[in-house]
Amino acid sequence: MLLADEPTNALAESQSWQLIEALQALSRQGTTVIVATHNEALLRAIDYPSIILKNGRLASTVPTGTSMDSTSDDIAAGIRHP
């Protein structure tokens, strides 16, 4: 298991995508990868389940293969998903 807290925070955009590709490769090889991030562009680009927190509480879950677009809009509107 690998836990990464804001791993792209201080990286240039190109370095961020290289890191994300490396994390995805680890995941494909069987490593559980947990990433905490505020980077919505990163979340939109990956096709893995996501858990969205707002104010420290579960706001939404996004299953694999689901677009983040509607979920982000729902969060902005304050809609909670079980």
Q: What's the pLDDT tens digit per position in 45-56?
A: 776 777 878 788
How many Cβ atoms sit within 10 Å of the Cβ of residue 30?
A: 6
Distances in whole angstroms, Cα of residue 5 to Cα of each of 10, 37, 39, 66, 77? 12, 7, 11, 23, 26
Q: What's the pLDDT tens digit per position in 23-37?
A: 889 988 999 888 888
Share of the chain above pLDDT 90, in %: 11
The terminus-to-terminus CA distance of the chain in angstroms comes to: 26
Distances in whole angstroms, Cα of residue 19 to Cα of each of 7, 12, 13, 34, 66? 8, 11, 10, 13, 22
Whole-model pTM: value is 0.66
